[in-house]
């Protein structure tokens, strides 16, 4: 659907999704980041690449870790599962009885040599090649797309109603999806209304579909979505499968790094393909994506453009980005070349400088593993830099 209302203005639909803390892939993201945090809290220079696989009654950890810390992997996995709510085998996983398999090795010596041998902290080389994107749009205070913000808020609201005891029938898995109608004018986008909402909630067998739909509408939809975005044409698909008793790893295997669009901009902007969770900040997939978001948000908050996409690229062993690109969608009175100059003048995008400026050696990562890595003020990369230009 694309409705042309004028040469400069058009309307279109855009959809973003989020997933619950107990979604199989998100379980794995949280376990991977819990293990990363455990290492960084003892050894801030730990090199961690920890992947997780979840299936019925089983968690597998695999990857490469070189660290001074001694970490109890069993305890971390079980505590993470307990917090998420997997406390009974009827839910597909029980933190008390599940098997935890560990297949972790040391980081490859060749990578270590390329990254840090004979280099100062600011000049460490990237741990791999790759390309990363950062995006920002002035459509919300957070400079995030409203579609992904609302999808996260719906998922978080359901979890809070389970945690505070209001909804004892909720189980850990679940998904949300928001389709909005947008107006685009001269490259900037403005959300007009919610076109369609989808909520799939994992539930106990002893609650009726009618009751679930009523509760979701009253306690989630109406509480989370601002009234001005809902109208008589809004379409609601509340538990469209009509039943979602079997969920989690029992019905769908989980894997770290499979929710990269949920983690970022909900399909807006672009994605370089590298996942975040389980990776220490020497991995540019994570740290440079955070830096690119920091740059993008700083430009929008400075009023230099209304919407922007930043691309960075790196090579293994090299500290400086190979390329920095700025795309402003026609929303700036300055050229993209001028904005690029401002970026180069204000940001040191060497890997080591990013780690230092954004304080990325702290054990902050488990908090990022649910409800998105961006648009949340508690993270350093969400605090816009005051730009000199």
Annotated active-site residue 23? The verdict is: yes
Query: What are residue 2's phi and psi, to 5 degrees?
Result: -140, 110
Annotated active-site residue 246? The verdict is: no
Q: Which member of 17, 29, 43, 51 is catalytic?
A: 51
Annotated active-site residue 25? The verdict is: yes
Annotated active-site residue 112? The verdict is: no
Q: What does the chain come to in residues?
A: 389
Q: Which member of 26, 55, 157, 307 is catalytic?
A: 26
How many whole angstroms separate alpha carbon 288 and alpha carbon 321?
Answer: 9
How many whole angstroms separate alpha carbon 235 and alpha carbon 310?
Answer: 34
Annotated active-site residue 253? The verdict is: yes
Q: Which residue intervals of the chain are DSSP H helices?
A: 24-42, 73-84, 109-116, 146-163, 209-215, 222-224, 248-251, 260-263, 284-301, 336-346, 351-357
Annotated active-site residue 78? The verdict is: no
259 contacts 19 by C-beta, under 8 angstroms: yes
Annotated active-site residue 51? The verdict is: yes
Annotated active-site residue 138? The verdict is: no
The DSSP secondary-structure symbol of 91 reads G
How many whole angstroms separate alpha carbon 206 and alpha carbon 74?
Answer: 33
Q: Which member of 39, 78, 171, 258 is catalytic?
A: 258
Q: Which member of 259, 297, 307, 373 is catalytic?
A: 259
How many whole angstroms separate alpha carbon 42 and alpha carbon 76?
Answer: 14
Q: Which member of 244, 327, 374, 379 is catalytic?
A: 244
Q: Which member of 45, 79, 138, 252 is catalytic?
A: 252
**Terminal CA-CA length for the chain:** 40
Q: Which member of 253, 270, 302, 315 is catalytic?
A: 253
Q: Which helix (H) or strand (E) holds 13?
A: strand 9-19
Annotated active-site residue 47? The verdict is: no
Q: Which member of 64, 94, 184, 338 is catalytic?
A: 64
Q: Which member of 283, 286, 293, 307 is catalytic?
A: 283
Annotated active-site residue 153? The verdict is: no
Annotated active-site residue 175? The verdict is: yes
Q: Which member of 152, 157, 175, 203 is catalytic?
A: 175
Q: Which member of 14, 20, 21, 25 is catalytic?
A: 25
Q: Which member of 195, 285, 286, 288 is catalytic?
A: 285
Annotated active-site residue 64? The verdict is: yes
Of the candidates 225, 151, 189, 198, which has an alpha carbon nearest to the alpha carbon of residue 13?
189
Q: Which member of 23, 91, 157, 328 is catalytic?
A: 23
Q: Which member of 202, 279, 297, 373 is catalytic?
A: 279
How many whole angstroms separate alpha carbon 304 and alpha carbon 200?
Answer: 40
How many whole angstroms separate alpha carbon 114 and alpha carbon 273?
Answer: 22
Q: Looking at the annotation, which residues are catalytic?
A: 23, 25-26, 51, 64, 175, 244, 252-253, 258-259, 279, 283, 285
């Amino acid at each position: 659907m694309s409705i042309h209302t004028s040469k400069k203005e058009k309307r279109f639909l855009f959809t973003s999704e989020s997933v619950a803390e107990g979604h199989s892939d998100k379980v794995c993201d949280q376990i991977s980041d819990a293990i990363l945090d455990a290492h960084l809290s003892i050894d801030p220079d730990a090199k961690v690449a920890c992947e997780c696989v979840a299936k019925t009654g089983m968690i597998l950890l695999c990857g490469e870790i070189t660290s001074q810390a001694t970490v109890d992997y069993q305890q971390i996995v079980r505590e993470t599962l307990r917090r998420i709510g997997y406390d009974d085998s009827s839910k597909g996983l029980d933190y008390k009885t599940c098997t935890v398999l560990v297949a972790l090795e040391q980081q490859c010596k060749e990578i270590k040599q390329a990254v840090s041998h004979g280099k100062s902290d600011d000049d460490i080389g990237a741990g791999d090649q790759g390309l990363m994107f950062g995006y920002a749009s002035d459509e919300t205070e957070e400079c995030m797309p409203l579609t992904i913000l609302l999808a996260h808020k719906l998922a978080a609201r359901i979890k809070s109603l389970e945690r505070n005891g209001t909804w004892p029938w909720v189980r850990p898995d679940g998904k949300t999806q928001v389709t909005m109608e947008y107006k685009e004018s001269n490259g900037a986008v403005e959300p007009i209304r919610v076109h369609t909402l989808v909520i799939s909630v994992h539930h106990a067998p002893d609650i009726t579909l009618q009751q679930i739909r009523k509760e979701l509408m009253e306690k989630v939809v109406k509480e989370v979505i601002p009234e001005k975005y809902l109208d008589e044409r809004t379409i609601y698909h509340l538990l469209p499968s009509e039943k979602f008793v079997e969920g989690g790893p029992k019905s769908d295997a989980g894997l770290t790094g499979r929710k990269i669009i949920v983690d970022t901009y909900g399909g807006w902007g672009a994605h370089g393909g590298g996942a975040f969770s389980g990776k220490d900040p020497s991995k540019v997939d994570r740290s440079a994506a955070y830096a690119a978001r920091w740059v993008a948000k700083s430009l929008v908050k400075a009023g230099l453009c209304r919407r922007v996409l930043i691309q960075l690229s790196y090579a293994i062993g090299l500290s400086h980005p190979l390329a920095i690109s700025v795309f402003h969608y026609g929303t700036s009175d300055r050229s993209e070349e001028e904005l690029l100059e401002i970026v180069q003048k204000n940001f040191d995008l060497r890997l080591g400088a990013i780690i230092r400026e954004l304080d990325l050696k702290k054990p902050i990562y488990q908090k990022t593993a649910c409800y998105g890595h961006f648009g949340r003020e508690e993270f350093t990369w969400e605090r816009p830099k005051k730009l000199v230009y």
